Structure 1
């Protein structure tokens, strides 16, 4: 923890893509800045559980919510779950992203829509 611990002691945030990569790095940085509560949103329960364990070890009230941010119903459920656990939310980090290997010519309309929905809408 840095000398800034407690600076954001009232911050309760959702971090999409928070179980790995940039999203988890942001979650760790928020925790280091004193964020008291984090709801990590992602698709992999296993990765989410590991990320939450790290944050809890550092004293953060953290939960993982399995959801696909490309689906509006999943997003609404995730927010409702986080609100039910923390009571309030006052920060959002949209770090969820996806990609696919292959050429533009090989990209189907369905694959393009999936990538767009996660990276832009999610």
Structure 2
């Protein structure tokens, strides 16, 4: 199934600012995103990450960023398959070996909730 068949539109980030009125409408959303600090995240981790359709299995793969702002930490999955569960990834990330920054041992798979912000400058995902 193609991206078009799924009703998914991908927008290029290389458009010039002010090229149309949609930039003005979505400007406040983009400004809010720009205020998010990703200081501890290496550019090598996120460089080139994008949504893609795997031709072999027909699944979409998404870049996913987990933020733990209270600990100034993050995790990045460059190709998260749409057919995988967040709970499976959380079990690997916070399973038997706890991260060194979780000194209070709060980050256990059974304690975690995943929140997804359906936020887009154009009102689409």
Q: Which structure shows the bigger proportion of residues in helix conformation?
A: 1
Same fold (TM over 0.5): no
TM range, normalised to the smaller chain?
under 0.3
Larger Rg: 2
State TM-score, norm by structure 1: 0.26
